[in-house]
Amino acid sequence: MSATTTREAETTRSRPPAPVRPRTFSRRQKIVITVVNLALFCVAWELVARLSGVPSLLVPTFSAVVGEFFAMRQEGILWANLWISLQIYLVGMALSILAAIPFGLLVGGIKILDRIVGPYVWALYTLPRLILMPLILLWVGINDTARVLLVVLSAGPAIIVVIMDAMKTIEPSLVRAARSFCAGRRQVFTHVALPSTVPYIATAVRMGVSRGLIGLFIGELFTAADGIGYVMVLAGRQFNSARVYFILLVFVAFSVALVGLTQWLEKKASIWRSA
Amino acid sequence: MEVMQGGTGSASPAIEARGVTVAYERARHKDTLVALQDFDLEIRSGEFVTVVGPSGCGKSTFLNVVAGLVPPARGEVFVEGKPVRGPGPERSVVFQDYALMPWRTVEGNVRFGLEMQRRVDRSTRERIARYIEMVGLTGFERAYPRELSGGMRQRVGLARALVTEPRILLMDEPLAAVDAMTRELMQDELSRIVAETGQAVLFITHSVDEAITLADRIAVVTNRPGRIKEIIPVPFQRPRGRDVRNLPDYIALRDRIWSLLEAERHTNRSQVEAGV
Ligand SMILES: Nc1ncnc2c1ncn2[C@@H]1O[C@H](COP(=O)(O)OP(=O)(O)OP(=O)(O)O)[C@@H](O)[C@H]1O
Ligand SMILES: [Mg+2]
């Protein structure tokens, strides 16, 4: 940008100068980049699988993996199992988000609670979810509740931890300004603490969304008799590697879509934060 | 322009500080830092007092005590005759660091104080527009603070404090970041409003000219721990124009304040050299 460009339109006479804008790709460019990227990846996969001589049990061809979509549909095990997994995931995430956000705000906002409850939340957050498996099986047995619980225990602590931290980043000078206009504790919470954590709440949800997916997957591996993860386990036992890869791709595509959605939410929630 | 009329008798001063001492606990240094010591100051109702003094001498600290945001370790501040126990709607603060809500637009920030004091009604929109115009930010109502220059942000802070039309204004270098031309305009505007409404003002500044142009009295503060070094009355009618700056009295006053500040600078240096 040249130094003479200015934002004030009224100072210009003839042609308005180009506005200063952070350099980003246009929507069209982004789509083109993504499509080309994906296409190259698929082609490369197909070629490597065909030409490298690696046994197809290890790396099936891309076309074989896509073929599994039709095979599974034919067998009638695709949509039903996807739907079950999706339901469990959505219920688990809804519960996590609804419980973890207020919990995180509360614990993060009240010093004494943070001291007492904080360490437990962090412990739960760092604990590998697999360790919880035997316990969950003991508590609720092998059923849908176990899977929902795993999603909640995976996503919940991640969301809480991010929000708890966000409550600590609140600018003291803003609290002071609010107090100078006679804001009480409640008003400071709703008009300073809450708005300044909103962008972090979006970040927290994004963290939770991907951790919840891991929880779902673990749940399906160990505690399920249906669901897309269970189908994957079966396929593995039958050495149907193309099917395993296909389901893996489904998981990846789903999580990429979710992360994209939450990133978009995050951006919407923090327009005031950065240019 | 209507201003809330004093509930308490106009006989008591707007602000009366007696022996105010403030010490900050400094956890990292494992000590306490005495910012103000036995600070006395009285501001009569309708009076404009400017405060000048070396950086770090405790001016902002004093303003925060009057605002009810920092409790003094010793001494007491009375506002309209009542001891300060916290902030009140009869006072408004302009903060040195602006302290604007980054998620609120200019309009939203100016509205903030009225919202906190639950004073939003049908006339609010028009009132906000009026003050935004006063600080010269018409056309930027929907801008977020990050989209404004430093001087513009500071003027939002000014409008936010003025819009609640308090009886007492506490202003911490409210024009420090504003460019020279706008600064003079704002000084005129502020003088006019304050004279019209009879607000009492505590106004911190580093500009000696600003201090003289605006004030009834100028309080010169010593080095930290801050105490009143001298209080100097300004002999010109208020509100006053810039033309007073050519009067011999003005120039004498200016020299006097400069030499007081200069003296503080020297004591500061000798303190440092003596390892105090
Ligand atoms: N929250 C705090 N904790 C510890 N020390 C503080 C705190 N606030 C201020 N101080 C110290 O108190 C002293 C006075 O600070 P204050 O902000 O009142 O100075 P000031 O006169 O307003 O300075 P300036 O003109 O630079 O704004 C300084 O030495 C500062 O380091
Ligand atoms: Mg200061």
Over residues A50-101, the pLDDT tens digits come to: 888 788 788 888 888 889 899 989 988 889 999 999 999 999 999 999 999 9
Cβ-contact A235, A221 below 8 angstroms: no
Does B182 share its domain with B81?
yes
Over residues A131-174, the pLDDT tens digits come to: 888 888 888 887 888 899 999 999 999 999 999 999 988 999 99
Residue A31 in this model has a pLDDT that exceeds 60: yes
Residue B94 in this model has a pLDDT that exceeds 90: yes
Residue A183 in this model has a pLDDT that exceeds 90: yes
pLDDT value of residue B210 = 95
Give the closest-approach CA distance of B93 to chain A in angstroms: 7
Q: Which residues pair with B170 in a beta bridge?
A: B93, B202
**Is residue B6 in a domain?**
no
Give the closest-approach CA distance of B69 to chain A in angstroms: 7
In this complex, is the C-beta atom of B212 within 8 Å of any C-beta atom belonging to chain A? no
Q: Whose CA is nearest to atom 9 of ligand 1?
A: B61
Domain carrying residue B104: 100-165
Instruction: Give the residue on B whose Cα is nearest the Cα of A184.
Output: B116
SS3 B33: strand
In this complex, is the C-beta atom of B146 within 8 Å of any C-beta atom belonging to chain A? yes
**Is residue B7 in a domain?**
no
Q: Whose CA is nearest to atom 7 of ligand 1?
A: B24
Cβ-contact B131, B163 below 8 angstroms: yes
Give the closest-approach CA distance of A20 to chain B in angstroms: 12
Nearest to B116 among A183, A196, A273 (CB): A183
- The share of chain A scoring above pLDDT 70, in percent, equals 93
Domain boundary among B111, B137, B165: B165
Task: Pick the ligand that lies closest to the CA of residue B55.
Answer: 1
Does B75 share its domain with B186?
yes
Residue B5 in this model has a pLDDT that exceeds 70: no
**Is residue B2 in a domain?**
no
Q: What domains can be seen in chain A, in order of their start residue? A: 72-274 (1.10.3720.10)
Interval between CA B272 and ligand 2 midpoint (Å): 21
Domain boundary among B165, B182, B204: B165
Residue with the bigger pLDDT between A20 and B232: it is B232
Nearest to A179 among B87, B100, B104 (CB): B87
Does B44 share its domain with B142?
no
pLDDT value of residue A1 = 42
Across the interface, whether the CB atoms of A182 and B93 are under 8 A apart is answered no
pLDDT value of residue B168 = 97
Nearest to B146 among A174, A198, A275 (CB): A275
Does B62 share its domain with B110?
no
**Is residue B21 in a domain?**
yes
Across the interface, whether the CB atoms of A176 and B95 are under 8 A apart is answered yes
Give the contacts of B252 (CB within 8 A, at least 6 positions apart).
none
Give the contacts of B141 (CB within 8 A, at least 6 positions apart).
B105, B106, B107, B129, B132
Does B258 share its domain with B186?
yes
Q: Residue B147: its chain A contacts at CB < 8 A?
A: 275
Does B32 share its domain with B130?
no
**Is residue B143 in a domain?**
yes
Cβ-contact B183, B191 below 8 angstroms: no
Q: Which of A10, A21, A181 to mutate to test the interface with B (most CBs of B within 10 A)?
A: A181
Of A267-271, B34-38, B233-237, the poorest mean pLDDT is in A267-271
* Ligand 1 site, residue B154, Cβ cutoff 6 A: no
Interval between CA B59 and ligand 1 midpoint (Å): 8
Domain boundary among B165, B185, B218: B165
pLDDT value of residue A171 = 93
In this complex, is the C-beta atom of B84 within 8 Å of any C-beta atom belonging to chain A? no
Give the closest-approach CA distance of B270 to chain A in angstroms: 34
Does B160 share its domain with B189?
no
Give the contacts of A236 (CB within 8 A, at least 6 positions apart).
A244
pLDDT value of residue B242 = 83
Does B55 share its domain with B185?
yes
Cβ-contact A96, A160 below 8 angstroms: no
- What ipTM does this complex have? 0.90
Does B151 share its domain with B237?
no
Does B140 share its domain with B175?
no
CATH number of the structural domain spanning residue B19: 3.40.50.300
Does B82 share its domain with B67?
yes
**Average pLDDT over every residue of B70-91:** 96
Interval between CA B224 and ligand 1 midpoint (Å): 9
**Is residue B124 in a domain?**
yes
How much is the pTM?
0.82
**Is residue B8 in a domain?**
no
User: How many domains in chain B?
Assistant: 2
Nearest to A181 among B100, B103, B117 (CB): B117
Q: Report which of A92, A95, A90, A206 is spatially closest to residue A150, judged by C-alpha positions.
A: A92
Q: Which chain residues have CB less than 5 Å from ligand 2, an ion? A: B 60, 96
pLDDT value of residue A6 = 46
DSSP string, B239-274: S--GGGGGSHHHHHHHHHHHHHHHHHHHHHHHHHHT
In this complex, is the C-beta atom of B24 within 8 Å of any C-beta atom belonging to chain A? no
Q: Residue A187: its chain B contacts at CB < 8 A?
A: 116
pLDDT value of residue B73 = 95
* Best residue among B33, B37, B268, B271 to mutate for probing ligand 1, ranked by most atoms within 8 Å of CB: B33
Q: Which two tokens stand for residue B239?
A: 């509100």
Amino acid making up residue B180: A
Cβ-contact B113, A179 below 8 angstroms: no
**Is residue B78 in a domain?**
yes
Cβ-contact A201, A163 below 8 angstroms: yes
Does B73 share its domain with B181?
yes
